[in-house]
Amino acid sequence: MAKGRCSLDKSFWLAGVSLGVLLAALAIQWQSKHVKAAQADPIGLLPSGRRVTPVGRCVVAPNFVINLCPSGNSVLALAAGAASAQSVIVLSGDRLAPQGSLVCMRSGHWTDRFDGSHILTSQSLFQGIASGPGDTIYAAGGYSNNVLVLKRTDRSLKLLQQFLLRGQGFPASQYPYQYQGFGKGHPLFYPDAVAPSASGLHLFATGLLANSLARINTRTGHVVYANAGAVPYSVAIAGVGGHRYVVVSDWGADEVRVFDAATMKKLGIVRVGPPTGPQNHLPGVHPTALGVVPGSSKVWVACSNNDRLVLVNAASLRIVRSIRDEPYWHAPAGTYPDGLAVWHAMLFAANAGNDDVAVFNRHTGKLLGLIPTGWYPTAVCAHGDAVYIASAKGLGSGPNLRGQWVGNSMQSLVQRVDLKDLAAHLPQWTRQALADNHFLARQRHQLLQANAAATTFLRKHIQYAVLILRENKTFDEDFGAYARAGAWADPHLDLYNQRELPNLYALADRYALMVNYKVDGEVTAQGHQWTTAASDSDYVQRTWPMYYSGRGLAPNPGWTQNLGPATAPPLGRPVGFNGEDNPKSDYEDLSKLGHWSNPWISYPDGLFLFDNLAAHHVPFLDFGEFASRDQAGDISPAVKKSLVFSFPGWNRYIPDTARARYVREELTSRKDDFPRFCYIWLPDDHTAGRASGFYTPDAYVSNNDAATGEIVQYLTHTPQWKHMAIFITEDDAQSGADHLDAHRSLALVLSPWIKPGHLVKQSYSQVDLLRTIEAICNIPSMSQWDDNARVLAGIWADEPHNAPYQAIPMQVPMTLNAGPVTALQKLRLAAGQDGHWLSPAWVKAHAQQIRQIEKHPVEWYSPTSLLKVPGPEQMRQEWIASKGRASWRHVQQYIQAMAQRRHVPISAIVASDDDDGGE
């Protein structure tokens, strides 16, 4: 083993095994099956091409460890992934050996929990965990609306009591201006951070959904509440002498609030970012983790979204120091510090974006070095003679160990690094961390040279770019039967082929097919940010597991979401409709979002491609993708004028061929003012599974293919085609299996300047496509990912081939799934054929049919709910609908045999049973 590298203990490898089946394993395996051979030098290769090479001693842990807490001679890790089970695990401080665990199941009843409290039912967790006097442990319950009080026992964690908290109202003038939760039938407090007083008499907890701070008397249970500001994230207690300050970081307000611990009186606000307010279009700085300087009133604040670490004096309400946490000079945002620890003169920052921990001299602000970690470090704590680090995504899909995949099947890593090793190893580790991210000066110089050469060619020959985004397919799922791909394709995993995808196959034959292409995120919540921002924000990363697993948060990955989707409206008043006969109804009345979620907090620091294009005066059109809003919900005039409002959003009743018609009509109307860039969303290859009243998966996929072909045919017949590049890809890769990597998806590049029939074998990801589009449009990068991505090269031809493309008609009929179809569904299907929702205008035109329906009310279907069909369930339903149950059993056997041969879990090939919620 290389000196200083990570020794990995694989004692808790549950990837690919249903957590529903392994309830006992979560409580037992940590206790009885820990000792296994350590593996030298674990390495993870990420979709972007970056590596992770964690150092120190490592153990795998349950999915998405989001916080760490020292307690006595142990360290506790809180895992809050998108699964039925979440957990707190106890590890020894010296060797990270398992010492106990508590598993919290989302469903069931409190009375069902196992004796000894190894497993709690009807209980959730979120980010907060802290230890108090006597090794008492407090854990934030999130959706359960409580704080758990735990005690260590032999081989387990015992529940002593719980403190229930109440939802609190907040001013209508305070972001997010209205309650942002689902479920329970009443507003939730949603505890997300906890901090006990030194005596243990009081426990402070923040409420994510209530904009509230609670002080709990741990003896009497009495609770005092105070408004904590917009979307409070963390809470800490600072002070010296007899005066104690409670400091709260406000995720949604660019500020920290300071309270008197004894009286709960607000003492003041310290701004750590630009002013915010309803008309603010700038992204937030996202104050998150707090690190108290012991014996003082000073607290470090991590501003995750703009890569700054700010030292605040709670007594004077002033900023003392600010540190820029960047890997190279003038780097755009993307470091994403979201965990802090103070140890003597050192400040440790867990950099989620760069997969390392930065070590600073906290007195001078000087960077001392970097500690390499696993993928997406979320927490760091210094305790005793070591620093402990949690990486939520572990080793990703690295080739040296067991493959990991999206959602809960990517296991976390917990690292222990001896503090005595820092002085000797930090210079080497720093070089290693920079090299892993391709941040060394030599690497960046080589990249800049290569990108400059590729950009020179593109600027000479390509003036127009089009991105067509589709939904949720792996490479093998669509191209497993594509013979030209050779070993890059596995026909056993092919679900759709030339019958359903004649245009995709024909385009691959004629232009360039990327066979080694990966998506950068795991689910749609991330995928649509990666394809529009070359990043996903810390807010999206930390919250999507909660709403994908049904834990009370409104989906908020950048688009607006109806806050009442379960409510059946009166007939003729469709869910969320507040405009004219316009499928993109949530774009209407932009100064007021109405009863919709407020997405501003989810935006990454660089905002989105559309903002970038508008700022640099590049003409563009957006067909269906979300655009950034100010805090009140308004879209800037510069971006708004380029949104195609008539284009249908997510609606399974509207076929993609109707969307293609909107594209053709809009572009024809602008033939004298053709946009430099078009973004077109064709979502129907997501399918509706086997749900009755919807088209079959084969029909959806075939219609999506036909729409793709029709758009390409139209574009290749325009005068602009001879200087155009079209990029076709997916937002994520989670509805099927892939024999090489479960992050692998498909991408095609179409242009007269493409080498005909070219198979692109170089590894690329979504950010490389975005970097290429930026190069064509002559706009700057938006994050560290596209700043260090590659402009596509080696695929371009010296001479153009301008022949237009002729679309191939659908070969699959638009038939419905077996099962009952309600009259209301028939109306929605009829409206959808014309490209309409059941809007007021459409309903008025079909009044007689509506009156018949009103005589027999039926349940109203919310068109967003099918986004929550889990990834593996998508695959099962689509496979059975397309090829039958016998074929489904056969492919299951094939996948199981493949996993056994490779000694990897099934999750290396396909999603686990408790996956991410399926967007």
157-186 confidence digits (pLDDT tens): 899 999 999 999 999 999 999 999 987 778
Bigger pLDDT: 375 vs 8:
375
Bigger pLDDT: 891 vs 482:
482
Comparing 480-484, 595-599, 774-778, the range with the smallest average pLDDT is 595-599
pLDDT at 861: 33
Residues of the chain with CATH 2.130.10.10: 7-439
pLDDT at 907: 63
CA distance 225 to 269: 17
HEC profile for 422-451? HHHHHHHHHHHHHHHCCCCHHHHHHHHHHH
pLDDT at 556: 84
Instruction: Quote the Cα angle for 723-725-728, to 5°.
Output: 160
pLDDT of 705 over the 70 cut: yes
pLDDT at 844: 78
793 pLDDT band (50/70/90 cuts)?
very high
Percent of the chain whose pLDDT exceeds 90: 68
pLDDT at 710: 99
pLDDT at 224: 98
pLDDT at 214: 99
What pLDDT, in 10s, does the model give residues 878-894? 788 788 888 888 888 88
pLDDT at 798: 95
Q: Which amino acid is at 844?
A: K
pLDDT at 869: 52
pLDDT at 911: 53
> Which CATH fold would you assign to the domain 464-535+606-822+858-908?
Alkaline Phosphatase, subunit A (3.40.720)
HEC profile for 273-326? CCCCCCCCCCCCCCEEEEEECCCCCEEEEEECCCCEEEEEECCCCEEEEEEECC
Comparing 81-95, 767-781, 817-831, the range with the smallest average pLDDT is 817-831
Q: Which of 373-377, 577-581, 905-909 has the highest mean pLDDT?
A: 373-377
pLDDT at 1: 43
pLDDT at 837: 78
CA distance 324 to 309: 7
565 pLDDT band (50/70/90 cuts)?
very low
Sequence length of the chain is 919
What pLDDT, in 10s, does the model give residues 197-210? 999 999 999 999 99
- Average pLDDT value for residue range 393-418: 67
Written out in words, the top-level CATH class of the domain with range 7-439 is mainly beta
Bigger pLDDT: 352 vs 108:
352
Distance of CA 216 to the CA centre of its chain: 33
CA distance 560 to 178: 13
Peptide bond into 176 cis (omega under 30): yes
- The average confidence (pLDDT) of the chain is 87
Report CA torsion sign: 831, 836, 837, 840.
Answer: negative
462 pLDDT band (50/70/90 cuts)?
very high
What pLDDT, in 10s, does the model give residues 501-544? 999 999 999 999 999 999 999 888 899 999 999 999 999 999 99
What pLDDT, in 10s, does the model give residues 37-63? 334 567 889 999 999 999 999 999 998
pLDDT at 308: 98
Percent of the chain whose pLDDT exceeds 70: 85
pLDDT of 566 over the 60 cut: no
pLDDT at 400: 24
pLDDT at 108: 62
Residues of the chain with CATH 3.40.720.10: 464-535+606-822+858-908
Cα separation values, 148 from 156, 183, 605, 621, Å = 15, 20, 34, 50
pLDDT of 385 over the 50 cut: yes
Comparing 36-40, 311-315, 429-433, the range with the smallest average pLDDT is 36-40
